[in-house]
């Protein structure tokens, strides 16, 4: 094992600044600051290190701590942004849906819905009101052209077979149900009737962290800057390694080395950097392949329309990929869209908002599909990062085939909020050596990247 590091000399990564991000809710800020204002000392050893304390990392910590007996594993979560000013989950639109083309994606979101419905059991505290994540069950509405309607119907059948409550509607039925909708160019649509909608990720994260701390999980305000590794079994054919320790730098700039047994990469958009620090993409063989996860910036715009769609409006995804949903009850809405090409991808150097993208791309599409949106007033906007898997835009989960105690939970490409709870449970089952898995995610392991195989999802928003 390498000696204790007093000064890290590796190539340090440039951390994007906060930019003009959305101001977080007052309650969330106050609850986070009150709960986690005391600085935790960084221990010299622990059993499990989780890199990243957002929803995915906190979900991993919760399920491991919740399931184990007598707290036999010490759990340490390292988070460099403890107020979550640039965290993907905190800056997301909060959506959850069961409408996917990949079966495991359907199952993961359904698992999260079930967790949210039983949140009092999982995250409730004695003598305190149950956590309220403000789950709005208005569903998702996906619109389809004549060319894609048949495929959409096939996928709805698959989703219903898995237990999702989704129905197909003709264009005429949609117009009757949603009079505000212009059905020009629309053949049909699929609507989630139950378990879909949106919720407040801030409240869920705050509840998870509070419960985790009660279960003995330690949250450390620091940044991971390196690892030490050693051969796991020299007598084994083919070298396999383990991460022996994690090197971190705290908010005062002090360096620490913590010995550990397992490490889980839950670093979201920056997971690729953590993978590189662990050795991915730096050597030969399987270690020559980097973790293909990078940050991609997405914008969310908030606007007001005095005569827009009402309270029963679902999160609607147009055939152009532009989406919108209601935000509260005062005529407010939020919307967004992904770039149409690699050339249109915005810079990730900061979280500044591109308002021309709204004016030139999003607003014309909204006004065409919902005529009431011809007259709107843009109120605010913010940007956030996807943990974007450039290989196939789907989850990468499980132990690395060469760094055997390094587990991956990365690359959900905009689906992290709705998949985080299930991913946390799945990682806990791997750590605790479960006999069976609640949702079989074996197809999503890193080996598919090595084999150059892709799992493609049709329902990308």
CATH code, domain carrying 412: 3.50.50.60
Question: Over the chain, what is the mean pLDDT?
Answer: 91
Within a domain: residue 183?
Answer: yes
Q: Are residues 79 and 216 in the same domain?
A: yes
Upper half-sphere CA count for residue 437 (Cβ side, 13 Å): 20
Number of domains into which the chain is organized? 2
Within a domain: residue 346?
Answer: yes
**pLDDT number for residue 38:** 52
* pLDDT classification of 20: cutoffs 50, 70, 90: very low
Q: Which residue has the higher pLDDT, 459 or 11?
A: 459
CATH number where 139 lies: 3.30.9.10
Within a domain: residue 14?
Answer: no
The DSSP H or E segment spanning 134 is none
Q: Are residues 301 and 175 in the same domain?
A: yes
DSSP code at position 147: T
End-to-end CA distance of the chain: 45
Distance CA(263)–CA(26), nearest Å, equals 33
Q: Are residues 179 and 304 in the same domain?
A: yes
**pLDDT number for residue 40:** 74
Distance CA(138)–CA(177), nearest Å, equals 13
Within a domain: residue 124?
Answer: no
Look at residues 188, 187, 178, 189 and name the one whose alpha carbon lies nearest to residue 372.
178
For residue 355, the enclosing domain spans 135-193+297-386
**pLDDT number for residue 434:** 86
Cα dihedral sign, 442-446-452-454: positive
Q: Are residues 140 and 157 in the same domain?
A: yes
Pairing label, strands 75-79, 218-231: parallel
Pairing label, strands 140-144, 315-317: parallel
Two tokens, residue 328: 């509260």
Q: Are residues 82 and 54 in the same domain?
A: yes
Within a domain: residue 121?
Answer: no
Q: Across residues 67-79, what is the average pLDDT?
A: 93
Domain boundary (386, 407, 431) is at 386
Task: With a cut of 80, say whether residue 347 has pLDDT above it.
Answer: yes
Q: Are residues 182 and 256 in the same domain?
A: no
Q: Are residues 32 and 177 in the same domain?
A: no
Q: Across residues 250-279, what is the average pLDDT?
A: 97
- Residue 250 in contact with residue 244, Cβ under 8 Å? no
Q: What is the pLDDT of residues 399-449, one digit of tens each?
A: 999 999 999 999 999 999 999 999 999 999 999 998 889 999 999 999 999
Q: Are residues 257 and 321 in the same domain?
A: no
Q: Are residues 35 and 162 in the same domain?
A: no
Give, in degrees to the nearest 5, the angle at Cα 321 between 347 and 164: 120
Distance CA(35)–CA(45), nearest Å, equals 24
Domain boundary (358, 386, 414) is at 386
Q: Which residue has the higher pLDDT, 19 or 213?
A: 213
Distance CA(155)–CA(159), nearest Å, equals 6
Q: Helices 201-214 and 26-35 sit at what angle, rounded to 10 degrees?
A: 20
Distance CA(399)–CA(278), nearest Å, equals 13
- Residue 86 to residues 78, 156, 264, 378, 382: CA-CA distances in angstroms? 15, 35, 20, 22, 11
**pLDDT number for residue 4:** 29
Q: Are residues 313 and 436 in the same domain?
A: no
Q: Across residues 346-368, what is the average pLDDT?
A: 97
* pLDDT classification of 236: cutoffs 50, 70, 90: low
Within a domain: residue 108?
Answer: no
**What are the backbone dihedrals phi and psi of residue 189, each rounded to the nearest 5 degrees, phi first?**
-155, 155
**pLDDT number for residue 238:** 65
**pLDDT number for residue 39:** 62
Q: Are residues 224 and 270 in the same domain?
A: yes
- Residue 322 in contact with residue 337, Cβ under 8 Å? yes
* pLDDT classification of 37: cutoffs 50, 70, 90: very low
Q: Are residues 40 and 63 in the same domain?
A: yes
- Residue 41 in contact with residue 375, Cβ under 8 Å? no
Domain boundary (364, 386, 408) is at 386
């Amino acid at each position: 094992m390498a000696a204790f590091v007093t000064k890290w000399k590796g190539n340090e990564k440039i951390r994007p600044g906060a930019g003009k991000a959305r101001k977080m809710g007052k309650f969330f800020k106050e609850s986070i600051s009150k709960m986690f204002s005391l600085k935790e000392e960084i221990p010299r050893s622990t059993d499990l290190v989780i890199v990243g304390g957002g929803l995915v990392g906190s979900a991993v910590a919760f399920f491991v701590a919740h399931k184990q007996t007598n707290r036999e594993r010490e759990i340490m979560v390292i988070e460099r942004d403890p107020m979550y000013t640039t965290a993907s989950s905190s800056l997301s639109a909060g959506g959850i849906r069961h409408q996917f083309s990949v079966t495991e994606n359907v199952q993961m979101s359904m698992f999260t819905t079930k967790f949210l419905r039983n949140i009092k059991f999982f995250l409730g505290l004695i003598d305190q009101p149950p956590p309220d994540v403000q789950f709005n069950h208005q569903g998702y509405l996906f619109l389809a052209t004549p060319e894609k309607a048949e495929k959409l119907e096939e996928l709805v059948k698959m989703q219903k077979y898995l237990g999702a409550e989704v129905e197909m509607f003709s264009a005429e039925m949609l117009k009757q149900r949603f009079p505000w909708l212009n059905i020009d160019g629309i053949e049909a649509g699929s609507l989630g009737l139950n378990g879909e909608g949106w919720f407040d990720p801030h409240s869920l994260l705050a509840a998870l962290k509070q419960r985790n701390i009660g279960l003995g999980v330690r949250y450390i305000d620091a940044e991971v800057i390196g690892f030490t590794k050693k051969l796991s079994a020299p007598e084994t054919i083919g070298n396999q390694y383990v991460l022996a320790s994690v090197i971190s730098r705290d908010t005062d700039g002090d360096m620490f080395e913590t010995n550990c047994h397992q490490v889980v990469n839950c670093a979201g958009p920056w997971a690729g950097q953590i993978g590189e620090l662990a050795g991915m993409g730096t050597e030969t063989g399987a270690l020559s392949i980097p973790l293909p996860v990078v940050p991609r910036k997405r914008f969310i715009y908030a606007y007001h329309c005095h005569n827009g769609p009402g309270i029963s409006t679902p999160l609607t995804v147009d055939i152009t990929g532009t989406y919108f949903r209601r935000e509260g009850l005062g005529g407010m809405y939020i919307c967004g869209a992904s770039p149409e090409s690699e050339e249109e991808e915005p810079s990730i150097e900061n979280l500044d908002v591109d308002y021309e993208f709204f004016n030139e791309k999003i607003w014309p599409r909204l006004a065409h599909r919902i005529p009431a949106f011809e007259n709107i007033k843009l109120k605010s906007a913010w940007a956030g990062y996807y943990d974007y898997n450039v290989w196939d835009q789907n989850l990468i989960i499980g132990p690395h085939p060469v760094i055997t105690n390094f587990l991956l939970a990365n690359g959900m490409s905009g689906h992290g909020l709705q998949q985080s709870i299930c991913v946390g449970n799945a990682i806990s089952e791997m750590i605790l050596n479960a006999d069976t898995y609640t949702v079989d995610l074996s197809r999503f392991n890193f080996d598919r990247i090595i084999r150059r195989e892709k799992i493609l999802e049709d329902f990308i928003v």
